[in-house]
Structure 1
Amino acid sequence: RWQKEAVPQKLYPLTRQTLWTGHPVSLLRWVKENEPQRYAQIGCVMMTHDYLRWCLTGVKGCEESNISESNLYNMVTGQYDPLLTEWLGISEIDSALPPVVDSAEICGEITAQAAAITGLAVGTPVVGGLFDVVSTALCAGIEDESTLNAVMGTWAVTSGIAHGLRDHEAHPYVYGRYVNDGQYIVHEASPTSSGNLEWFTAQWGDLSFDEINQAVASLPKAGSDLFFLPFLYGSNAGLEMTCGFYGMQALHTRAHLLQAIYEGVVFSHMTHLNRMRERFTDVCTLRVTGGPAHSDVWMQMLADVSGLRIELPQVEETGCFGAALAARVGTGVYHDFREAQRDLRHPVRTLLPDMAAHALYQRKYRQYQDLITALQGYHARIKEHAL
């Protein structure tokens, strides 16, 4: 319905968000239409980490870096906007939106009840916290527009830090508030990353990740005509697109399937990386975090396909690490997040592209894009005949 009413197009100039089924506003509209009694009882709308903070402190609030990507927040004014909920048909929840708090703002203290459950000391200050992609960019050391952060997990995310909003861009980039004044996180994302490999390994439980890497490394780079579309959980090529292998023949082994999965995930990341490089034109380095960053085989493939210098910050659990940095800023250990980021001391490993392999992968990547285009045409015809 929202698509037919062009609601996403109306929202974007104000929220700088796309609209998808997992957004808070989508869930709220669903509850309103399907469980009206529950909807009528809503007392407060919070993101997950805001709810956890309320459980710890008894104080309600929505942390800015997270709520700014909810479609409830006007990116231009830096506030909630009743016009947004009116367009979305959920104006009733305006009064249920709690105050917006900063990432490093002390929002309350650990209560006696929370202390008894968690073991934390009563009175410990609790700060706002961070949206996960913001935390990852912070911990990856992203400071300017020459470096992007790729997060490889269930989602394929490519993020950059911008110094302002832009109008009339080539793509509907998702913006969010960043931890430094005047800066925004900009990202492109889809659920098309290493979650696909996790599904595959669940079907063959006898495979270790070392064995997978060895299998992929045993084959010539870009040497197969086998393709994998990493769309098990969603797509960045259209709502109708689904997962699958293409080009499989009797000669292919399990190693070929694994190589195709690695390649398909990288090719899908390239969709977002290429779009982001239209926005961040000075990029020469990609900093990568997430599970696949532990695989030199996969990371070298990413370097070879992209032609970029790949840097691998040796830091684990960037969500928790970033939250700890927010706490240190909030309690005065650091003056601000810039100082906290400058004090990061984790080592960074570097991989450089093999330009001979880059030429081979570019050919295969173009074939992947052609396959996507052909399938989009197929789905368009199916939809047309179904009308």
Structure 2
Amino acid sequence: MEYLIGLDIGTSSTKAIAFDLLGNVISKCNIGYPILNPKSSWSEQDPGEMFEAVINSIKSVASENTKKGNKLLGVSFSSAMHGIMAVNENGDKLTDCIIWADTRSVEYSERIKNSKIGHEIYMRTGTPIHPMSPLCKLAWMKDNMELIFKKTYKFISIKEYVFFKLFRKYVVDYSIASATGLFDIYDFQWNKNSLQVAGISEDKLSTPVSPTQVFKGLDKKYADLMGIDIETPFIIGGSDGCLANLGANAIKPGDAAVTIGTSGAIRIIADKPKNDESERIFSYILTENRFVLGGPVNNGGIIFRWFRDNFSQLEVTRAETLGIDTYELLTKEASKVPARSNGLIFLPYLLGERAPHWDANSKGVFFGINITHKREHFLRALLEGVIFGVYSVGKALEETTGNIDTIYATGGFVRSELWVQMLADVFNKKVVIAESYESSCLGAVVLGMKAIGLIDNIEQVEKLVPISKTFKPDIKNHEVYMKTFEIYERLYIKLKDEFVSISLLQK
């Protein structure tokens, strides 16, 4: 059997998934690693650990398929966006990888956003100006890591780090580049205004290449470690968000993909960029003639994990005894409560927020607590709050790009039918789940198949994505949710200034 590996370098783990040429999953490996928080607003990861996860996950999947006599045709990459790290001339790290969740550059992002060229930078790069953006992180590093900044040979993302170690070339795909705030999505080159603000020259960044660019000639040491041929095609691929739409087959007008993993996002695909004058949404590159428009939320499954890790030790122990997932027990508990959680509302901004507010100072809030509320109400409100966050972005997206008819759900949250039904009820739209919800990996494989000539165009993904389940909205629940959502929206507006005040106390 012939197969390709879709490799997704994510925030909480790296996944290698082997797909046959019909899009079926034939094997997979998932290797996790921690997020480092040396200070309250800092979020970093060790690129060495992440690189080891890449090597070992490919090794595991390739070894399993080699034993079965299967033939590897290529490895295609997806990775998280907005990460930046500094390396020296040998490619050794000078910093850890500063990831999307890091908000240390909040003051710099506000300064850039309010500058004379801030809006122009957004309109040319498609990346909202926010601490997630490498543009803002570089501006911070220039002033706060002066020695490292001066010694840096290249500023790169985690995928660039991996490709340099494997092929000794500094390259970045258009998709990842388009999420940096440094790349002109109209001219497909580094933006001069952004470089000026960041305080760097173009030679400090990698060479931009097409997401379908193929590389061969692996470093023999790593080829041997992975157990694959040095001439195995490696396709650079794109970003996880863009590829999630492709892998979910959410590529037609009226289609949207909602992904909730560690964070979350809602996105559509268009044939040209369409930025929002209010700067609420992004425009990123999927391929040279396909753009992904939408908005991310910082707080997705990480909210559920926070609740599990800090308030659910009994459930963790019980789940281990029963041999089931802790989240399954917690979801059952939340399902005891009807929609709206008896008036308990949760603003899910534990990591600040990106779209639509782009407010790194925002904080999590439980509102409306009364004496009748129990643990299960907090759990249900937590899940509803995450969906409200995605819905607020969906509203901004529809205002900018037109109506959404069908939502394709992807990411780990689809394992919870309760959570997916909430999505359908809040949006009042049909939600479908593909048979394989590993959409970023499948999207990478589709790009890989196009790159090595197995398919003629990416629209052929439709043949590879059978639908496993459809969720229809409950109109009564929708009406209940909309009354709650009105309060949810007003709460942010009323508390916005207080979020700034409390942020100063938490430094």
Q: TM-score, normalised by structure 2?
A: 0.70
CA contact (8 A) 1:228 1:263 kept: yes
* 1:145 counterpart = 2:253: yes
SS at match of 1:2: helix
SS at match of 1:228: strand
Residues 29-178 of structure 1: pairs in structure 2 closer than 5 A: 29-86=139-196, 88-91=197-200, 93-166=201-274, 169-178=277-286
Residues 171/36 of structure 1: CA separation in 2 closer, same or farther (3 Å cut) = closer
Matching residue of 1:375 = 495
Residues 333-372 of structure 1: pairs in structure 2 closer than 5 A: 333-339=454-460, 341-372=461-492
Distance (Å, rounded) in 1 between the aligned partners of 2:374 and 2:305: 18
CA contact (8 A) 2:410 2:438 kept: no
Shift of 1:320: 2.7
Distance (Å, rounded) in 2 between the aligned partners of 1:322 and 1:211: 31
Distance (Å, rounded) in 1 between the aligned partners of 2:183 and 2:136: 14
Residues 294-333 of structure 1: pairs in structure 2 closer than 5 A: 294-333=415-454
- Of 316, 329, 334 in structure 2, the residue corresponding to residue 211 of structure 1 is 329
Shift of 1:319: 2.9
Distance (Å, rounded) in 2 between the aligned partners of 1:128 and 1:170: 33
Identity of aligned residues (%): 20
Residues 3/166 of structure 1: CA separation in 2 closer, same or farther (3 Å cut) = closer
- How many residue pairs get aligned? The number is 379
SS at match of 2:122: helix
Distance (Å, rounded) in 1 between the aligned partners of 2:219 and 2:485: 54
Matching residue of 1:249 = 370
Distance (Å, rounded) in 1 between the aligned partners of 2:470 and 2:396: 23
CA contact (8 A) 2:247 2:444 kept: no
Shift of 1:380: 7.4
- Of 112, 115, 123 in structure 2, the residue corresponding to residue 13 of structure 1 is 123
Residues 280/22 of structure 1: CA separation in 2 closer, same or farther (3 Å cut) = closer
Matching residue of 1:196 = 303
CA contact (8 A) 1:104 1:330 kept: yes
Distance (Å, rounded) in 1 between the aligned partners of 2:152 and 2:247: 35
Shift of 1:382: 8.4
Shift of 1:8: 2.6
More strand, by proportion: 2
CA contact (8 A) 2:173 2:210 kept: yes
SS at match of 1:128: strand
Distance (Å, rounded) in 1 between the aligned partners of 2:443 and 2:340: 37
CA contact (8 A) 1:156 1:190 kept: yes
- Of 403, 408, 411 in structure 2, the residue corresponding to residue 290 of structure 1 is 411
- Unpaired runs of 5+ in structure 1? none
Matching residue of 2:21 = none
CA contact (8 A) 2:273 2:293 kept: no
CA contact (8 A) 1:74 1:81 kept: yes
Distance (Å, rounded) in 2 between the aligned partners of 1:83 and 1:233: 29
State which drifts further: 29-38 or 297-306.
29-38
Residues 368/331 of structure 1: CA separation in 2 closer, same or farther (3 Å cut) = same
SS at match of 2:284: strand
* 1:279 counterpart = 2:387: no
Distance (Å, rounded) in 2 between the aligned partners of 1:382 and 1:345: 46
Shift of 1:127: 1.5
Amino acid of the residue matched to residue 435 of structure 2? Answer: Q
Shift of 1:7: 4.5
1:214-238 C-alpha deviation (Å, 9 max, x unpaired): 2222222225111111111112543
Amino acid of the residue matched to residue 364 of structure 1? Answer: T
* 1:227 counterpart = 2:378: no
Distance (Å, rounded) in 2 between the aligned partners of 1:171 and 1:286: 23
Report the RMSD for the aligned CA atoms in angstroms: 2.2
CA contact (8 A) 1:137 1:149 kept: yes
State which drifts further: 302-311 or 38-47.
38-47
CA contact (8 A) 2:363 2:499 kept: no
- Unpaired runs of 5+ in structure 2? 1-110, 316-325
CA contact (8 A) 1:150 1:289 kept: yes
